[in-house]
Structure 1
């Protein structure tokens, strides 16, 4: 107990005196009888003069209270007892209870309630009453901790709860609600194995201490962890894609109020608002400013896309915008459909019921917008466009909000915020300057920057200069054109920049992609990197470019169009060629760091004619590729459209391995650009290479028919031109298709053919890849000697080439071989090494195969809970990358582990899901494995059909499966 007053802590006195005050505090506002006071303070050890002792303690308590703040607590003598008059906000316990009641799901309120606790309640007080009260208060605190933790877990912040929950669970090992919440928190942060271990700990404690089993809540959480279906695990951060708010946003009160009024209908009817108006009027700024102001109304997030509808080269297609949205909405960008209709349907499914704001910026036509509309009343859509979008209003009930030039007073107010007191010193010139800028926010901001950069010049002089330039452009443009006025401001801005900055601005208008950095500018202008960085700083200060991230920049589309107008000339082709060479050389350098063993397979590129980044290691290289991949796709498309097909072909061939199992939508587009470029130029070798890459992407996504068509088409082209190495690559992919379908005999034949081809052309890495797959298949078929020989050869070849990625796959094969030979400790080590190597390479999908192998090995070691945790981790990774084949493997593995744990119903559900996935993708081996799992977890009368189906498939595929499965199936066959 502590008594605080005026920043001081007052001594309450010895324990009996504290007990008296404690009883009165806990009954604050109510009279406590003398007998009740005596009983609670002394209990059965009542002294002879107890009433005299009580009176002495009450006197001392009154003196202590008198030392506290005036008007604070007062001890009052009532008929029959004593009453402590004190405000609820003066007692931490009452504040705690108020916060807990008022914020039952409010994280901040519950956190504030817990912050009021300092140590053990009634510490140092003895007796039955003190012990009972201490226990009751402890239960209140526990309930608050659990409620707070649940709120944090629901909000996606489970990590902050684990320390406090662990301490509480260790302190009270039999408290099931705490253990259940801790398990949910551990599961939510990816520590499912620790959650299961916590359950076992509590289960044992309950059995040893009480002879009881866990109650329904704890048992349900345990089953949910085993089934991988705890809701807490689905909690993800809501997308927050709105760009930064505009500095010194001014005016637009009517437009903002109209947005508020129309979007108040969200939840009752579809809401689409079109902000329409001329270029530079501030449509985007208005939409973004309003979005930030009302973001709390859209707790499920905000989506934003710049459709670049007025970009003459690269407007964003609706299917690409949908891919961007789905990447944000789906875990890891998984399962993004290929077709535009399917993507639009999936998008509508994902946003259904979510309260989201969707901003479609710079739309050119209704057709560009229509596929991006959600089919739900829970979202608000804000579209900005220079077009009136009449079809959107007529057919979709959109509400149009015109965004015109600013009123005169508002335009001057914006200048005042940007320029300062000079506007009030010369209001007439300020008004004239606003008129010269046609009262468009974009032009006003540029003019204000120039005025601010010339503090000694009166505004009147700036207005005169602009008026002279205006007359010149009016003559050139026919007069009366608002765009001419804006061009005047642009040209005026440029005129006051140095020659290098003007040259840089013009060059950036020719860059095909909307985002760039100093390296790109250096390539465009053929200038040193330091100069390019300095020039970009100048352009940022002049508001001619804006920051779009760390060391990355963008440009308003109107400014970009004007920059393109001011550029041109004989060196335009050379400038773009330098940009392509920069990206090719940098991508090649990044790939050499990440995949040195495959350097011979990648095309040779010319050195860059401009500065390139210096990568310190693989992580830097991977970060650069991650950041630049979208720009690479734009450059590839631009290369095809502008007669530079060799650049598109080289980008695809360079990035093949990086794109394998990564960024499916972008990978398909980059490889498709290469295929089109190759076909347009009659380059059959390049077309075959692009088809091989496309087949690989489809294979990874378990689209077997499409993958087979592309791969065989590539094989035929390679055969026509006599490219043996290309034929071998195609055959290897066909082998992988057969392996994934479960036809291991056919896979072995194709891998053997690929190996022969690679040996003919002395492709060491190719030989290593073929040997790896051969050995892994042979391990599964029980051909241990052949498997061991092939895998050892593969490991030696990959090591010679420095190909860590290949080495990791060999270790998975060796792990399979060790598992088949029941050398389980070796198998665990090999799979763990493979997982670590894949993580180092950044290949999380491949890492999932190693983790799944760990799960199978742990199951054979008799550790089903550990196995379940590994399979669950692999399942998350496979789903994140859209690998349906891996998903079927891990679901079956999880079902087998759950069955071994005694969770029959959960195991059956996992196998049933595996059967659905495997049937859909044609993975026959996993179909058989799922039937076998269902047979094991199903009642006797329905198990036999599953056994029969599994036996038939295993026999048809020529698979021997494991020793246990062989015995099981053989017994049933007899």
Structure 2
């Protein structure tokens, strides 16, 4: 039988609910339930139910109510004596776990960070506790219970946010904050939740409301926790964007067998995770299944790490280049900071940010295939709560000695486990020939990798006894022992590999050997076709054959990878002209990338290098989406190829990949863009390719411009312009000069921007590059529109004509945005709306999200001016999400200011203030002075709305000073507002 007090007072048993009766009986039962199992004296019971002045016949009334309660209890559970009369009072003979309030308290007290337990505890609440009861005791108890409920909601919400489920908390937290406007703890968590789902302005509005409430009602300022989260939101120091916890562990291997001792030891060590992080070195021989063990264990204990799992193959023993600490940190930070938060450039800065991101999280970090302590030292967390498992063939003594790591060794499987694994993979034949199976396991050195290869061979030859297979393997090993002159375990492993290959066709062996030369971790049939010089259909068949033989492993849809031991063996398994194979695979990638870029950006084909047709087949790209999807899927591989080319005698390929991808990388993964363009710059400089170096510098400048690093952008773009001038490439020099103009434009320095754009056009004077001229004319006309120059329309119309002539829809969309700016300045709102919508559709078709964000932001400004602030706010929020996702800090300031203006127009000055405050902070940090002035202007209007004229004048003065310094006409509009204000 269960009892409920967290709502109306009821009894439940056997799926039925029993009403207790009239309120006085409910009151008595509630008192007894909250003292479950303890005697409540007559006087105490009377006082709690009737108060300090009970009626004269209260004893008789109490007895009558007790009798009626007993009848209900008897009806619910016939034959039981629940309500007991003791000397001096009454006792309800129930256990605390039968009463919902005690189950709630136990869950909250014992599992305060457990999402499931907190959810279950909150589900016990069926409304207002002690519903329908009145009196001093009931009111006091209800207040206490409500406070416990509020604390549980806050704890539950914090746990959900840590798990990446912030959206699920917003409604409940909002209701709590509205009901308790002075509850700082609830406000803190609500601010975190709103920020996590991308509603930065709403998060700051919560702070503004509680700040005012605390000042007006209590005369105090927000406490340190509330002040800290406010500061973090302003500085974007909280993880941006709603996120699920990273879950990067690969799929566990099928039929995982054994390792019970190692798993038990990992469990024991994991129990130590607390104030300090745990570091485990999982070491052992190649092929022993270190990765399989940690992945299997990681999936088992994922609930211990509610903030997720990070995984990275460091490729320490692979033929490809090992992953550098800086690249590893970049990959982890990208996973930890989805939504476009800026990944620092320097390795040291990345390591510091990585430690910051892990602080306070409970995560599992798997660093697979490390080659040395130096490779992983910068990847270790600084605070407690995380477990780091490093797998390596090296003993990693430095991690143990200097960082307190615990070593767990993974060696050969015990014979019984090895035979069990064979049995699971081969089937009943192992039970039928146990002695031969044991011999076969020993011949496979009891390593999971070789056992799986042997098992696949046995399955492919079902009529051959295991004893014969064991003899064949023994003969192969004896031959290899003679050739190698020893009984090294590696020789035995190589014997298993060679034995497996002997069962394949010569063509499959040649394909296996060719894959050993692939300079990137993953591959597909197109890559094998290029490496092996085979038709695509043949390559697909060969890959299927190698996968069935467990010589390659699936790594996604139609993609594969190869164990590093097998890849190393593949390089000696067959005769391959490595130079020719690599020539073909680089030719394939260059041709495929060029084809994808031609499909996405046909109007800029002339700016990309000419690429020879590949000898092997290239994917077809029927539409822009197909091209973009392929590039997205291949980006990591292309980045690895660019790095390999730069350091392995193929500098021209590294430079070509950078030049081909410049537009695709614009506004995309900043870390990868810097890597690809950076390798190109290094390669070009080393070979004296000044044109290639200048182009890479130009591309790097664009990446820094996108990220709001104005100084770095100007440095790279200026260096590029100098190099282009020295080699006589005036057109490219013009593009670099125009890039500096973009830096000036984003800072709001429109007249210097016009000077740079005009200089760029002069450099294009004798050039046939229509798109380059059109791009600069677009920027020039847009800037002129913003400051009211009459030439804006002429330049934008000219740009549109050139873009159309070149068949360049991307440029046409930007020209439409410029013309929309003109329409806004002339109050032609219908035209502005049409142009912005057309630009949105074009950018969406091209998949260029950053540009789409600018057009959506323009739609928001148009709707605000048209008197539709709610619709405007929706557009600005969408633009803000896209800008954050692409890392466009300048765009963020525009969207935030636009959202502030929409909120004020819609009657929400608190949200307007929050948005403009965030915009101001960001604009100051990135040097976007016009948007800083716009934020001050917005804050001045909010202050006027609030009647705070001193604050209004301060913001008006600051806005006017900036606009005047930038020589922008907005200063005149502000002077008119000030005149009206008086």
State whether TM-score is above 0.5. yes
Which of 315, 327, 330 is the aligned partner of 1:323?
330
d(CA) in 1 for partners of 2:431, 2:788:
89
Following TM superposition, by how much is the alpha carbon of 1:799 offset from its aligned partner in structure 2, in angstroms? 3.0
Question: Partner residue of 2:599?
Answer: 593
1:800 aligned onto 2:805:
yes
CA distance in 2, matches of 1:182, 1:376: 25
**Is 1:300 aligned to residue 319 of structure 2?**
no
For residue 767 of structure 1, report the CA deviation from its aligned partner: 2.0
Shift of 1:543: 1.2
TM-fit CA distance, 1:959: 1.5
Partner of residue 888 from structure 1, selected from 887, 893, 899: 893
Aligned with 2:829 (options 791, 804, 824): 824
Paired residues of 1:6 and 1:69 also in contact (CA < 8 A): no
What secondary structure sits across from 1:303 in the alignment?
A: strand
Distance 1:743 1:692 in 2: 21
Unaligned ranges ≥5, structure 1: 30-64, 77-83, 119-138, 199-216
1:460 alignment partner in structure 2: 467
What is the distance in 2 between the residues matched to 1:447 and 1:829?
67
Shift of 1:664: 1.0
Change in CA separation of 1:610 and 1:117 when aligned onto 2, cut-off 3 Å? farther
| Mean CA deviation greater in 854-863 or 365-374 | 854-863
Mapped contact 1:758–1:764 kept (Cα < 8 A): no
The structural deviation recorded for 1:627 is 1.0
Between the aligned partners of 2:552 and 2:355, the Cα distance in structure 1 is: 35
Deviates more, 1:361-370 or 1:432-441: 432-441
Q: Structure 1 587/962 Cα, relative in aligned 2: closer, same or farther at 3 Å?
A: farther
Q: State yes or no: 1:967 paired with 2:972.
A: no
Equivalent of 2:714 in 697, 708, 711: 708
- Secondary structure at the aligned position of 1:816 is classed as helix
Q: Is the 8 A contact 1:888 1:918 kept in 2?
A: no
1:681 equivalenced with 2:687 (yes/no) = yes
**Judging changes above 3 Å, is the alpha-carbon distance between structure 1 residues 188 and 930 closer, same or farther for their aligned structure 2 residues?**
closer
Tell me by how many angstroms 1:755 deviates: 2.6
Deviation of 1:789 (Å): 1.8
Residues in 1 aligned to 2:236 and 2:345: alpha-carbon distance in whole angstroms: 28
Partner of 2:739 in structure 1?
733
Which among 658, 661, 675 is matched to residue 664 of structure 2?
658
Find 1:951's aligned residue among 933, 956, 960. 960
- Is it true that 1:853 corresponds to 2:862 in the alignment? no
Instruction: Confirm or deny: 8 A CA contact 1:240 1:301 kept in the other structure.
Output: yes
2:368 matched to which residue of 1?
361
Matches within 5 A, 1:731-880: 731-783=737-789, 785-864=790-869, 866-880=871-885
Residues 1:576 and 2:576 aligned together? no
Out of 530, 544, 551, the position equivalent to 1:544 is 551
Partners of 1:904 and 1:608 in 2: CA distance: 56
Residue equivalent to 1:901: 909
C-alpha displacement of 1:806: 1.6
Aligned to 2:572, the other structure's residue is in SS state: helix
Q: 1:916 aligns with which of 911, 924, 934?
A: 924
Kindly indicate whether the alpha-carbon contact (under 8 Å) linking 1:186 and 1:195 is maintained by their aligned counterparts in 2. yes
| 1:491–1:835 Cα change, 3 Å | same
Measured in 2, the distance between the counterparts of 1:700 and 1:333 equals 11
Q: How much has 1:945 moved relative to structure 2? A: 5.9
Q: 1:240 to 1:183 in 2, by over 3 A?
A: closer
Q: 2:565 aligns with which of 548, 558, 561?
A: 558
1:136 aligns to what?
A: none
Residues 903, 946 of structure 1: CA spacing in aligned structure 2 closer, same or farther, 3 A cutoff?
same
1:490 is matched with which residue? Answer: 497
Q: Quick one: distance in 1 between partners of 2:833 and 2:324?
A: 47
Q: How many equivalent residue pairs?
A: 950
Specify the alignment match of 1:214 in structure 2: none
In the TM superposition, residue 5 of structure 1 has moved relative to its aligned partner by 12
Q: Does residue 629 of structure 1 match 2:635?
A: yes
1:387 paired with 2:394, answer: yes
Q: Is the 8 A contact 1:355 1:379 kept in 2?
A: yes
Shift of 1:395: 1.7
Structure 1 residue 176 displacement after superposition: 15
Aligned position for 1:520:
527
1:701 offset after TM fit, Å? 1.7
Whole-angstrom CA distance in 2 between matches of 1:437 and 1:321: 34
Q: Check the 8 A contact 1:918/1:926 in 2, yes or no.
A: no
- Conservation of the 8 A alpha-carbon contact between 1:153 and 1:232: no
* 2:143 paired residue number: none
Aligned residues of 1:88 and 1:95 also touching (Cα < 8 A)? yes
After superposition, give the CA deviation of every residue in 1:467-494 in whole Å (9 maximum; x if it has no partner).
Answer: 1111111122121211111000000010
Q: In the TM superposition, what is the alpha-carbon distance from 1:968 to its structure 2 partner?
A: 4.3
Distance in structure 2 (CA, Å) of the matches to 1:722 and 1:114: 72
Counterpart residue number, 1:121: none
CA distance 1:372–1:90, shift in 2 (3 Å): closer
Moved more, 509-518 or 946-955: 946-955
Q: 1:73 to 1:615 in 2, by over 3 A?
A: farther
Structure 1 position 100, deviation (Å):
11
What is the alpha-carbon distance in structure 1 between the residues aligned to residue 366 and residue 112 of structure 2? 34
Instruction: Identify if the C-alpha distance between structure 1 residues 451 and 66 changes in structure 2 by more than 3 Å, giving closer, same or farther.
Output: farther
Q: State yes or no: 1:373 paired with 2:376.
A: no
Distance 1:504 1:911, change over 3 A: closer
Q: Distance in 1 between matches of 2:74 and 2:960?
A: 88
Q: Which runs of 5+ in 2 are unaligned?
A: 1-10, 37-72, 85-91, 127-145, 207-221
Match of 1:648 in 2: 654
In the alignment, does 2:433 pair up with 1:426?
yes
- How far apart are the structure 1 equivalents of 2:275 and 2:710? 43
Aligned residue in 2 for 1:692: 698
Once the two structures are superposed, residues 889-913 of structure 1 have per-residue CA deviations (whole angstroms, 9 ceiling, x without a partner) of 3344444455573557535633541
TM-score, normalised relative to structure 1: 0.80
Question: Shift in Å at residue 933 of structure 1?
Answer: 4.6
Deviation at 1:834, TM superposition (A): 2.6
Matching residue within 513, 538, 547 for 1:506: 513
* Alpha-carbon distance in structure 1 between the residues aligned to 2:542 and 2:847: 35
Contact kept, 8 Å, 2:309 with 2:363, in 1: the verdict is yes
CA contact (8 A) 1:865 1:901 kept: no
Q: Equivalent residue of 2:390, what SS? A: strand
Query: Of the two structures, which has the highest relative contact order with CA contacts closer than 8 Å and spacing of 6 or more?
Result: 2
Between the aligned partners of 1:24 and 1:339, the Cα distance in structure 2 is 67
3-state SS of paired residue (2:282):
strand
Asked if residue 724 in structure 1 is aligned to residue 740 in structure 2, the reply is no
Report how far residue 967 of structure 1 moved.
2.7
Aligned counterparts, 1:614-625, within 5 A: 614-625=620-631
Report if the CA contact (8 A) 1:155-1:235 is conserved: no
- 1:837, CA displacement in angstroms? 2.8
| CA distance in structure 1 between the partners assigned to 2:472 and 2:290 by the alignment | 28
Shift of 1:678: 2.5
Paired with 1:578 and 1:768, the residues of 2 have a C-alpha distance of 37
* Distance in 1 of aligned mates of 2:634 and 2:80: 65
| Deviations, residues 722-780 of structure 1 (Å, cap 9, x unaligned) | 22321221122121122123221121122123234335222221122111101110011
Q: TM-score, normalised by structure 2?
A: 0.80
| Post-superposition offset of 1:519 | 1.2
Aligned-pair CA distance for 1:545: 0.9
Pairwise CA distance, 1:510: 0.5
CA distance, structure 1, for counterparts of residue 282 and residue 105 of structure 2 = 48
- 1:704-739 CA-to-partner distances (Å, cap 9, x unmatched) read 222222222222222223223212211221211221
Residue range with higher mean Cα deviation, 543-552 or 871-880: 871-880
SS state at 1:560 partner: helix
Whole-angstrom CA distance in 2 between matches of 1:360 and 1:766: 45
Q: How does 1:342-353 map to 2 (within 5 A)?
A: 342-353=349-360
Structure 2 CA distance for aligned equivalents of residues 381 and 103 of structure 1: 24
